[in-house]
Structure 1
Amino acid sequence: MPPARDVMAHRGDDDEVCPVCKSSRYLNPDMRFLINPECYHKMCESCVDRIFSSGPANCPVAGCHKTLRKNRFRKQTFEDINVEREVDIRRRVMQVLNRREEEFDSKRAYDDFLEQREEIIANLVHGTDVAKTESDLQRYASENMRSIRANQALEAQEASSFREQQTQEQELARLRREAARQEYENERKELLAGREDVLSRLAAGRPGDAAAIAREGQKVLLKKSSARRSEEDRIRQKQAALRNSDARKGQGPLTTADRADDSGASSLIKGLKKIKTPEPEKPYDPFDGLVPNQRDYYTLRDHYPNSYLDPIRQDTRMQAGGYDLQEYYSRTLMEAFAGLGCFLDEEVSKRDITNTSNVSRPVATEGAALAAVSSAGAPEGSS
């Protein structure tokens, strides 16, 4: 046998041999092989228990110095170890770069993001700029932790909704099959009962009544079948209405407040929509910006000489009710200077501009209508 064919013939046997203890599946059919995502070296389960039960240890394969832990070992899913490694890398990258299409400004920006993600996966799979790619990925994960968790929660919610929808569809299919079987049984029983009824009536009747009895039995069967079909249509319409209501309930908004990042944008991904942070609610102001003690155009004094107010100042009867001249001074001066902050010329000009823009089109339309009416009502030949 040529050497190449010999290698191809014994390749499966070499894959089923533990590189640590050299045990073969040929001698031990119950042997289980495990791999670790750190280095993807395959070894038997007994070697894993013997080497890594006491704690983390270096990989026993010659030339590999990576530290492995027992809880990371798992059974190999794919036959090709390179496919296994690529699937793990792709899963890890997509858990971090899990942006959604609605987060981008355009479809082109989302396509660029998908291409960039595939390029990162290819770099990690083929070992191109691994250190820089890993550092960029870790920096992005630390800067956008909130959006990553929010998108992961949305994906979990969508997966749960999809599973619930599949369960409902399977249950509806089962109910439809059960209803079809029950319908077939009921129709068969009714047909047999109708035939027995016709036969019994024929046996008890006269020979000339055979045709009339057959026609009457056929009418009864048709009436029952039409009633059954109408009832089935009503049930189908009810089920369709229930499905539509469930679909409307399941189409609720999947928005999350945690999607907004503290950084506002990412240096790794371009084309993301700018998230507008709502302004914080201002504290309640009962005076709507008016400061009671603020005076822009006057200064309030403690005393103003007045022949009418001076006697009140010494009148105990007026002071006993809580009357205060300072409040009178303040209110009077505020009313006197209240109009100094209003500029009528500017307000009138703005009002005229607004009224002109709003009324110009209706006025022109009305003038055109009047001109048309006047020209139509004028006699021919008049200028």
Structure 2
Amino acid sequence: MSGCNKQLWKRDWKFQTFEDIEVERQLEVTKSVYDALELSRLGIVADPKTGYESAFEDLKSYNDYLELRELLALNLALKTDVAATRKRLTEFENTNGLNSKAQTKNQLKDGEYPDASGLIKGLRKRYVPKALSPYNPFGDIPQDREYYHIGKDDGFESVLSRNKKYEEYQQWGYSFEAYLDENLLRAFSGLGVFVDNEKGGKTDMTLPANTVMG
């Protein structure tokens, strides 16, 4: 049509839902604005309980965001400040690198504000949580033995070779390494040594009558 600079694409055609074509147009404009300002395009993930409210610093900032969407949608639907409104939406998409409706922003960096254009106010900055260290069931207790070490150079292999039933025991969960380590640990930890006997130079290792073993 002469004088019309708007391009119409067949892919954008759809069946009319409402009898009033003006209502149909307003809903289409509102949907396009909501899709353009969708926070998921900025790499923000909605909370399962609170939605996108947790992405803002406070409730007022979240309400301002909802009001901004309504204002821009009404401007386009009522044809008020259309050029300025479209310019704000275009700057929002271009600044954040959103060249198409289906495109989303790349992963945010640590401490980066999600909306580079500044159109949406009050968003929380993204902070990457520090990686947790691997779980250690022993906590900070060192597992290295201080007084002894079990290695191949200590004749350990020869002990295993003399133990003919080692492979048979191993099938039942028996570990000769654990057995040897436990006995060496007991020896170097002083278990089975009685101070009174050591002081008196006694060699009898018989337990006293009133000794209780834990």
Q: What TM bracket, shorter-length normalisation?
A: 0.3 to 0.5
Highest RCO, 1 vs 2 (Cα 8 Å, sep ≥ 6): 2
TM-score, normalised on structure 2? 0.44
Structure ranking higher in helix proportion: 1
**Higher radius of gyration, 1 or 2:** 1
TM-score, normalised on structure 1? 0.26
